[in-house]
Chains A and B, each alone.
Chain A
């Protein structure tokens, strides 16, 4: 296809850490991490080069703090949000370059494709960018970790908050692909469970640019809340155009999956008052601020939850390799699941048997322009959603690994 034309920007860079002592039982004497992400497309701001940077920061910090006796290498590639490119790259990395773990994988379709390859080859997959719940349900496997967030968690936080505060009737504007459908489904369930009703929905082509037709339908529906079950540029354009057509503030918008980079791009004027759920906010604690400022110095943008989660998950992985004394997939996975995660990103985070990392999520409200005191001062934290409530309970799991 001529329009999908991003030149392949795959670049391989090696970060070698010299260590003098005896080598651990690590294959080839080195742990190799492959960061497979969107480096050029619609998700490259929320994951992309920032996720690569976070990976390198995690490795540098790990080497400085833990003095491992194995080398750590990184390779990176652009999967262009295409499942076939992602699975081919993962296969090449595993077969020819002996990559131990493939990480990041924004866009659900690429994640699902790579999970299959990794299972077949017995290597680890650690996912931060993709959102859909099937990753830890129907499609789950024992070599995969879904770390930062999922559609259940964000829908649960935002849809519940908006519904319980009086936004009882909903209309969904949904991106017409697997992720949008999952987000709409998860959100509708929450709306209904909290006494709301769904008066309609419309599915728009992905990616879209003009949403006015769909917004007019949403307007005609008379719903109090228009739920945006899409992401990235689709969400930002829909918000912009809703204001243009006078839909907001008469009806309110709920961005079901938004990142701080979206808020930054749109500005506070058109996003103020919106609720959203994130797994990380840079300005939450002294620890998050300290890490985020280091990130900002290099990237010139504050980190998204995906990028912060990428750092946390890679650090956790490397620690598990060191503790297990091997890069053997099942042993490292057992160690990762056994060890709780305690860092700036998560407190008492735990990886469950379905691969889901559960941790606290945060319900945010976007500040008014007048309340924003310094650059990237965008959110007020309205509530902390405890880990046990934030994610889908195991009792509802559709993952075959979970024995009931």
Chain B
């Protein structure tokens, strides 16, 4: 069967692959959106933190024998802790200044992190094996789906919607949102706002590291893996509306699908399609698809 001269099998498989990539976009843009929404910081180190997640998983496995499942917890905790230190020691001083300062600081940090890893591990990177339990694949008729990729979709969506629920539906989330609206008032009610903010940044960073661990068995773990991805993820956040939690998740998934479609129709354009959409969205709806203007 064919639609517009493209076989449905090819179309189906490309959409599924698009959804997998979309899962990465979603989880990374979610972290950025949380950090921007609650801290007003444009976290340019997000790609480097994603890369660090992958490297921590690799180091944990090869040097300490810590397996993939433990790494899914350990790597976000370690990298998240680095995030906490960054927030406490550096970012905290910048909240009163223009966005640009936070951007420059995190950009500089990203360069430093990438430089350190490049110096230690070289540029060709390291290979991380797919965990035993998730290796192999299933034949869906129209494509061979590696089980690991299916797991990526499940894990990423679970974490994304769990995070959304925590921020939008729980008391902790309510404190957080209130703290960013009017921190003096919330502080007066006896809630430790600076601690909440530190926690938020650490959590956003941990999300990036979690995505990094998910990515490790798929991509070669190398120091530039984050910088290749981060610009697209920023575009996703802009399209979704800066700071919109649900917006970033849905936009991430949606753009993954659109990118997948583009790869069937005109592969050369697949790396620019996201930016074309960004331009159109900015022209028509400057606050983004889900943003409040």
**Residues of A participating in the B interface, judged by any CB pair closer than 8 Å:** 2-3, 5-7, 40-46, 48, 176, 202-205, 207-210, 212-214, 216-217, 219-220, 232-233, 236-237, 240-241, 244-246, 261-262, 264-267, 270, 301
Contact between A41 and B263, CB atoms less than 8 A apart = no
What would be 9 A-B contacts, judged by CB atoms less than 8 Å apart?
A: A3-B231, A5-B111, A7-B111, A205-B271, A210-B21, A210-B218, A212-B17, A240-B219, A244-B218
Contact between A240 and B146, CB atoms less than 8 A apart = no
Contact between B20 and A212, CB atoms less than 8 A apart = yes
Which A residues touch B118, using CB under 8 A?
40, 44
- CB proximity of A55 to chain B, nearest CB, Å: 19
Confirm or deny: B173 has a beta carbon within 8 angstroms of a beta carbon on chain A. no
Contact between B124 and A233, CB atoms less than 8 A apart = yes
Q: Mark B1-25, 1 if CB is under 8 A from A, else 0.
A: 0000001011001100110110000
Contact between A245 and B14, CB atoms less than 8 A apart = no
- CB proximity of A287 to chain B, nearest CB, Å: 26
B263: which of A3, A209, A213, A219 is its contact (CB, 8 Å)? A213
- The segment from B183-191, B199-207, B220-228, B246-254 that touches chain A is B220-228
- CB proximity of B151 to chain A, nearest CB, Å: 12
Which B residues touch A220, using CB under 8 A?
7, 9-10
B:103-139 near A, CB below 8 Å: 107, 110-111, 115, 118, 122-127, 130, 137
Inter-chain CA distance A202–B106, complex, in Å, is 37
Inter-chain CA distance A3–B110, complex, in Å, is 10
Q: Which A-chain residue is minimally distant from B135 (CB atoms)?
A: A244
- CB proximity of B233 to chain A, nearest CB, Å: 11
Which B residues touch A261, using CB under 8 A?
122, 124
Contact between B268 and A203, CB atoms less than 8 A apart = yes
- CB proximity of B6 to chain A, nearest CB, Å: 11
Contact between B122 and A205, CB atoms less than 8 A apart = no
Contact between B228 and A209, CB atoms less than 8 A apart = yes
Contact between B124 and A45, CB atoms less than 8 A apart = yes
Contact between A45 and B137, CB atoms less than 8 A apart = no
A216: which of B107, B143, B219 is its contact (CB, 8 Å)? B143
Q: Which A-chain residue is minimally distant from B231 (CB atoms)?
A: A3
Contact between B224 and A216, CB atoms less than 8 A apart = no
Contact between B229 and A209, CB atoms less than 8 A apart = yes
Which B residues touch A237, using CB under 8 A?
219-220
- CB proximity of A44 to chain B, nearest CB, Å: 5
B127: which of A6, A176, A270 is its contact (CB, 8 Å)? A270
Which B residues touch A41, using CB under 8 A?
123, 224
Confirm or deny: B260 has a beta carbon within 8 angstroms of a beta carbon on chain A. yes
| Given A246-B144, A264-B124: A2 and B267 interface contact (C-beta under 8 Å) | no
Inter-chain CA distance A210–B267, complex, in Å, is 13
Inter-chain CA distance A241–B215, complex, in Å, is 12
Inter-chain CA distance A79–B229, complex, in Å, is 22
Contact between A214 and B146, CB atoms less than 8 A apart = no
| Given A205-B271, A216-B143, A245-B146: A265 and B125 interface contact (C-beta under 8 Å) | yes
Contact between B218 and A3, CB atoms less than 8 A apart = no
Inter-chain CA distance A219–B139, complex, in Å, is 14
Q: Which B-chain residue is minimally distant from A210 (CB atoms)?
A: B21
Confirm or deny: B36 has a beta carbon within 8 angstroms of a beta carbon on chain A. no
Contact between A244 and B125, CB atoms less than 8 A apart = no
Contact between B148 and A2, CB atoms less than 8 A apart = no
Q: B13, B123, B143, B227 — which one has the most chain A CB atoms within 10 A of its CB?
A: B123
| Given A205-B271, A216-B10, A265-B124: A236 and B111 interface contact (C-beta under 8 Å) | no
Q: Which B-chain residue is minimally distant from A213 (CB atoms)?
A: B263
| Given A5-B107, A42-B224, A209-B225: A301 and B219 interface contact (C-beta under 8 Å) | no
Which B residues touch A262, using CB under 8 A?
124
Contact between A236 and B125, CB atoms less than 8 A apart = yes
B:1-60 near A, CB below 8 Å: 7, 9-10, 13-14, 17-18, 20-21, 44
B14: which of A203, A213, A246, A265 is its contact (CB, 8 Å)? A213
Which A residues touch B115, using CB under 8 A?
7, 40
Contact between B125 and A202, CB atoms less than 8 A apart = no
Confirm or deny: B270 has a beta carbon within 8 angstroms of a beta carbon on chain A. yes
Contact between B127 and A213, CB atoms less than 8 A apart = no
Confirm or deny: B238 has a beta carbon within 8 angstroms of a beta carbon on chain A. no
Inter-chain CA distance A46–B17, complex, in Å, is 31
Taking A217-B267, A241-B218, A245-B144 as given, write out 5 further A-B residue pairs in contact, using a Cβ cutoff of 8 Å, ordered by the A residue number: A212-B149, A213-B14, A246-B144, A265-B125, A267-B127
Which B residues touch A48, using CB under 8 A?
123
Which A residues touch B227, using CB under 8 A?
3, 5
| Given A40-B118, A209-B228, A240-B218: A45 and B123 interface contact (C-beta under 8 Å) | yes
Which B residues touch A213, using CB under 8 A?
14, 17-18, 260, 263-264, 267, 270
Which B residues touch A6, using CB under 8 A?
111
- CB proximity of B81 to chain A, nearest CB, Å: 25
Which A residues touch B267, using CB under 8 A?
202-204, 213-214, 217
Contact between B219 and A209, CB atoms less than 8 A apart = yes
- CB proximity of B103 to chain A, nearest CB, Å: 9
Contact between B137 and A246, CB atoms less than 8 A apart = yes
Q: B115, B267, B271 — which one has the most chain A CB atoms within 10 A of its CB?
A: B267
Which B residues touch A210, using CB under 8 A?
17, 21, 218-219
Q: Which A-chain residue is minimally distant from B146 (CB atoms)?
A: A244
B122: which of A3, A45, A244 is its contact (CB, 8 Å)? A45
Contact between A301 and B222, CB atoms less than 8 A apart = no
Which A residues touch B125, using CB under 8 A?
233, 236, 265
Which B residues touch A176, using CB under 8 A?
268
Contact between A216 and B13, CB atoms less than 8 A apart = yes
Inter-chain CA distance A176–B270, complex, in Å, is 11
Inter-chain CA distance A305–B14, complex, in Å, is 38
Inter-chain CA distance A213–B13, complex, in Å, is 8
Inter-chain CA distance A7–B224, complex, in Å, is 14
Inter-chain CA distance A219–B271, complex, in Å, is 21
Which B residues touch A7, using CB under 8 A?
111, 115
Inter-chain CA distance A337–B17, complex, in Å, is 53
Contact between B126 and A233, CB atoms less than 8 A apart = no
